[in-house]
Amino acid sequence: MAHGAISQTSLLEALAGTDRLSELLPILHGHAVEALQARSSILFQFDRTGEWLRATSAYGLDRLPTEPWPSGGGLVPEPLFRDLLPIYIGDLTLSSKSVSEYLGTPSAVLIPLAHMDARMGVLAVGCGAEPTVEALRSVMPVGHAFALALHRANAARDTELQRDLRGLLQDFSQAVSSSLNLSTGLEALCVGVNPLFGADRTSIWLHDRRARMMRLTASSDATAFPDPREVPTADAVAPAAAALRRECAVLTPDAGTSSKALITVPLKGRRRAIGAVVMEGVRLEPGSEMELLERADEMGRQLAAAVENVVLLDDVLRSRQELDNTFNSLADLVVVCNHDGRIVHVNKTFCDRSGRPRDEIVDRPLDDLLAPGTQELLARALERPPHADGTVVRAELEDPALKGTFLMTVTPLMDEVQRPVGAVLVARDVTPHAQLEAERAELRNKLVQSEKLAALGEFVAGIAHELNNPLQGVLGHLELMRATGAFPKALRRDVQTIYREADRAAKIVRNLLVFAGSRRLVRKRVSVNAALTRVFALRAPAFRAEGIELVHDKTDNLPRLKADPLMLQQAFLNIVLNAEQAIGMNGRIEVRKALLDNPARLVVEIRDTGPGLPADVLPRVFEPFYTTKEVGKGTGLGLAIAYGIIQEHGGQISAANHPDGGAVFSVQLPIEPAGEPR
Ligand SMILES: Nc1ncnc2c1ncn2[C@@H]1O[C@H](COP(=O)(O)OP(=O)(O)OP(=O)(O)O)[C@@H](O)[C@H]1O
Ligand SMILES: [Mg+2]
């Protein structure tokens, strides 16, 4: 026991004398070899996963093994860590041949190295013969000393690493807060990582989840970075993409040299994978891989948290910017005020309307910028008891201070616990509604027009009937006279003239009767094309004589209408006659048709190449008896009749000028008449 006691004292002396592993481990190896009267020993340490053992130092060997050993293999027999006692393996070649070769002995003592509950490694001591029980017992404190030394070294390294990382993160947050820019901060980080790991270059790739891409966001040496700067997260070979899918850091020795390596570290956030750190040209020392990876993982953990916070901040800033942009591009005036009625937030539209820059507006009492009516509305909203019904106040008001008429909405502003803290005023400028008003007025006009027409129609129908009978009598007699020739020859021309004029009068009366709608509609299934074709056939000789070209596609397959075919022809004929008269000589009449739905209706456009409708004529063309033609030429009833007919069919007719000149008359007809015709 005396021998063991001396050994323990010297062990303690050694541990107290230095905490540098490079000095301590040779002494401890010496003690182990001496205690077991052995020749060689190897210290194996578990890697971070506990699955592999790596030789990190040795005694009496030519060179340190570099290959890893599986911890499930012969180096860790089942009872080793259960009993925490050294075990003698008589024939190591059976379970771990290569270790026995390195040690130079067929048998060995395996000593478990554990600190508290943590397994740290295995010390393999190569023995020529089986050691005594006493020798085995005396080597146990050496194992403890090994474990303690390793633990102490780890703790010291940890402290140092934590200090370095703290410095790194401090620089990072400083760079971020001074620039409010994520990449600037990350670049500072990359530069700081290089000396910590002895790397040539460090880069950080961030994960764009939506695009499923990894993007190079920062690098300690971005200038020399080769493309691509983006890789799909599913990429099988790109180091950054591969790292993202892993749980811990991985080291890949550089091809051709064993002194440098590539280390990739995943950055795992609280909820998602944030990205990866890629360190290139990391300098390796024999046996330093494990420690490097541990450091890299620790760095990864700490960076991930910091980077995630900054990425979140970046997201928040970005969405805040987007929100601001949206807020400012709203066409409505929006202003937020606190409970005292002071302005907290305004959008650009409000600033523009009040004619002041934002800086001058924010923090002012909102009342300063509003007319009394709006002030009252706001006061009402601010006075409402919280949670009262109908807390939203609405009104249409003219506000001279904001220069317009607005639909105002005041909504109470609540904080996160639903306490009222102010109000939001949204003002929609309804001044352009004047425009809508004008449209309504026009509609009213049209209504008046049809009412006028109806009244006039009744009146005209009465007269027309009265006139028609005597006229028919006159015409009948004249016809008879012409047929029999029962009048002096000298009167022939006069009779001719009387007949022509009477006939014209009869035509006018007929027109008047049509206009007055005294003829009942006889609805049939008719094709618009057939009606148009008839009209054009009627006018074809005149067109030829006047050099008028007709553009009319009859092949379109349009549905048939429920309409009075003769009336429809009459309406189109009146439009076509006007077009013809407007053109005079040489021109073109174009017909276009279209089918619209909701409700299903046909549109027929008839365009001519005449002089078009002057501004003073356009609004009056459908007025009965309105004509610009010389006396005796036009009655001014053609379009009034067309208007009446189309209206009776439940359709609409309108007149306009074509941008390229000429008039366009547009007729809309429902496919099915709605309800009964008047
Ligand atoms: N295609 C057109 N181009 C230019 N002016 C037109 C055209 N169609 C109608 N007008 C104008 O509208 C007026 C009214 O037309 P409307 O058909 O009602 O009467 P009118 O042609 O003058 O007489 P009526 O048709 O009874 O013989 C015309 O006098 C003319 O000034
Ligand atoms: Mg006419």
Residue 433 pLDDT more than 90? no
Question: What whole-number distance in Å separates Cα of residue 631 and Cα of residue 572?
Answer: 24
Least distant ligand from the CA of 577: 2
pLDDT value, residue 449: 66
Work out the pLDDT band at 172, boundaries 50, 70, 90. Answer: confident
Angle at 623 (CA atoms; ends 621, 624), nearest 5 degrees = 120
Instruction: Give the distance (Å) from ligand 2 centre to CA of residue 109.
Output: 123
Least distant ligand from the CA of 622: 1
- Domain ranges for the chain: 2-158, 180-324, 331-429, 459-670
Question: What whole-number distance in Å separates Cα of residue 648 and Cα of residue 678?
Answer: 7
Establish whether domains 2-158 and 331-429 are of one fold. Answer: yes
Token pair listed for 649: 């069919």
Which residue's alpha carbon is at the smallest distance from atom 25 of ligand 1?
638
pLDDT value, residue 528: 93
Contact yes or no for 109/94 (Cβ under 8 A): no
Least distant ligand from the CA of 637: 1
Q: Does the beta carbon of 617 lie inside 6 Å of ligand 1?
A: yes
Q: Does the beta carbon of 608 lie inside 6 Å of ligand 1?
A: yes
Q: Which of 64, 59, 2, 9 is nearest to 32 (CA)?
A: 59
Q: Does the beta carbon of 637 lie inside 6 Å of ligand 1?
A: yes
Question: What whole-number distance in Å separates Cα of residue 198 and Cα of residue 284?
Answer: 9
Contact yes or no for 43/25 (Cβ under 8 A): yes
Which of 96-105, 172-181, 599-608, 637-646 comes out lowest in average pLDDT?
A: 172-181
**Residues of the chain above pLDDT 90, percent:** 37
SS3 503: helix
Question: What whole-number distance in Å separates Cα of residue 174 and Cα of residue 41?
Answer: 49
Which residue's alpha carbon is at the smallest distance from atom 20 of ligand 1?
636
Q: Does the beta carbon of 575 lie inside 6 Å of ligand 1?
A: no
Identify the CATH class of 180-324.
alpha beta
SS3 307: helix
Question: What whole-number distance in Å separates Cα of residue 574 and Cα of residue 531?
Answer: 13
Question: What whole-number distance in Å separates Cα of residue 94 and Cα of residue 100?
Answer: 9
Going by DSSP bridges, is the β-strand pair 548-552/587-596 parallel, antiparallel, or unpaired? parallel
Contact yes or no for 636/625 (Cβ under 8 A): yes
Instruction: Give the distance (Å) from ligand 2 centre to CA of residue 644.
Output: 14
Work out the pLDDT band at 435, boundaries 50, 70, 90. Answer: low
Host H or E run for residue 456: helix 433-484
Burial class (CB in 10 A: 0-12, 13-18, 19+), 650: buried
Residue 549 backbone phi and psi in degrees, to 5: -95, 140
SS3 203: strand
CA distances from 133 to 88, 128, 278 (A): 10, 15, 51
Question: What whole-number distance in Å separates Cα of residue 670 and Cα of residue 601?
Answer: 4
Question: What whole-number distance in Å separates Cα of residue 487 and Cα of residue 94?
Answer: 151
Q: Which long-range contacts (CB under 8 A, 24 or more apart) does 616-623 make?
A: 618/655, 618/656, 618/657, 621/655, 622/449, 622/653, 622/655, 623/449
Chain segment 11-61, per-residue pLDDT in tens:
888 889 888 888 999 999 999 999 999 989 999 999 877 888 989 899 999
Instruction: Give the distance (Å) from ligand 2 centre to CA of residue 637.
Output: 7
Identify the CATH class of 2-158.
alpha beta
Host H or E run for residue 515: helix 492-515
Q: Does the beta carbon of 664 lie inside 6 Å of ligand 1?
A: no
Residues with Cβ within 8 Å of 224's Cβ and at least 6 positions away in sequence, in order, are 201
Q: Does the beta carbon of 570 lie inside 6 Å of ligand 1?
A: no
For the chain, the average pLDDT equals 86
Instruction: Give the distance (Å) from ligand 2 centre to CA of residue 575.
Output: 7
What mean pLDDT is predicted for residues 129-149? 92
Answer whether 0.75 is exceeded by the pTM: no
Residue 519 pLDDT more than 60? no
Chain segment 614-651, per-residue pLDDT in tens:
999 998 999 888 899 887 677 788 898 899 889 889 89
Chain segment 400-411, per-residue pLDDT in tens:
888 888 888 888
Angle at 155 (CA atoms; ends 153, 161), nearest 5 degrees = 100
**Residues of the chain above pLDDT 70, percent:** 92
Least distant ligand from the CA of 639: 1
- For the stretch 272-285, what's the b/e string if a residue is b when 16 or more beta carbons lie within 10 angstroms of its beta carbon? ebbbbbbbbbbebe
Residue 226 pLDDT more than 70? no
What mean pLDDT is predicted for residues 173-188? 83
Token pair listed for 608: 């001519």
What mean pLDDT is predicted for residues 301-305? 88
Residue 388 backbone phi and psi in degrees, to 5: -70, 155
Contact yes or no for 589/580 (Cβ under 8 A): yes
Token pair listed for 323: 């929100």
Give the full edge-to-edge strand order of the sheet including 404-414: 343-346, 333-338, 420-429, 404-414, 393-399
Give the ranges where 231-371 is alpha helix by DSSP (H): 239-244, 289-329, 348-354, 358-361
Which residue's alpha carbon is at the smallest distance from atom 11 of ligand 1?
621
Question: What whole-number distance in Å separates Cα of residue 647 and Cα of residue 668?
Answer: 10
Type of residue found at 561? L
What mean pLDDT is predicted for residues 650-676? 89
The atom number, within ligand 1, closest to the CA of 636 reads 19
pLDDT value, residue 676: 44
Please tell us whether the domain made up of 459-670 is placed in CATH 3.40.605.10.
Answer: no
CA distances from 127 to 34, 59, 124, 434 (A): 11, 13, 9, 106
Encode 110-162 in three state secondary structure: EEEEEECCEEEEEEEEEECCCCCHHHHHHHHHHHHHHHHHHHHHHHHHHHHHH
Work out the pLDDT band at 432, boundaries 50, 70, 90. Answer: low
Contact yes or no for 211/224 (Cβ under 8 A): no
Angle at 313 (CA atoms; ends 309, 319), nearest 5 degrees = 145
For tokens 């509003």, the residue is 370
Q: Which of 288, 308, 305, 307 is nearest to 197 (CA)?
A: 288
What mean pLDDT is predicted for residues 499-521? 73
Q: Which of 239, 252, 428, 242 is nearest to 333 (CA)?
A: 428
Residue 108 pLDDT more than 90? yes
Q: Does the beta carbon of 646 lie inside 6 Å of ligand 1?
A: no
Give the ranges where 198-288 is alpha helix by DSSP (H): 239-244
For the chain, give the number of residues: 678
Work out the pLDDT band at 459, boundaries 50, 70, 90. Answer: confident
Question: What whole-number distance in Å separates Cα of residue 229 and Cα of residue 206?
Answer: 11
Q: Which CATH code of 2.60.40.10, 3.30.450.20, 3.30.379.10, 3.30.465.10 fits the domain covering 331-429?
A: 3.30.450.20
Q: Does the beta carbon of 579 lie inside 6 Å of ligand 1?
A: yes
Residue 86 pLDDT more than 90? yes
Q: What is the CA 343 to chain-centroid distance, rounded?
A: 31
Least distant ligand from the CA of 582: 1
Q: How many CA atoms lie within 13 A of 495 on its CB side?
A: 18
Type of residue found at 160? E
Which of 168-177, 353-362, 454-463 comes out lowest in average pLDDT?
A: 454-463
**DSSP-assigned letter for residue 263:** E
**DSSP-assigned letter for residue 368:** G
Residue 235 pLDDT more than 80? yes
Dihedral of CA atoms 410, 414, 418, 420 in degrees, nearest 10, equals -70
Question: What whole-number distance in Å separates Cα of residue 582 and Cα of residue 569?
Answer: 20
Work out the pLDDT band at 393, boundaries 50, 70, 90. Answer: confident
For tokens 């066409």, the residue is 331
Number of C-beta neighbours around residue 256 at 10 A: 6
Burial class (CB in 10 A: 0-12, 13-18, 19+), 531: buried
Pocket probe for ligand 1: among 578, 618, 654, the residue whose CB has the most ligand atoms within 8 Å is 578
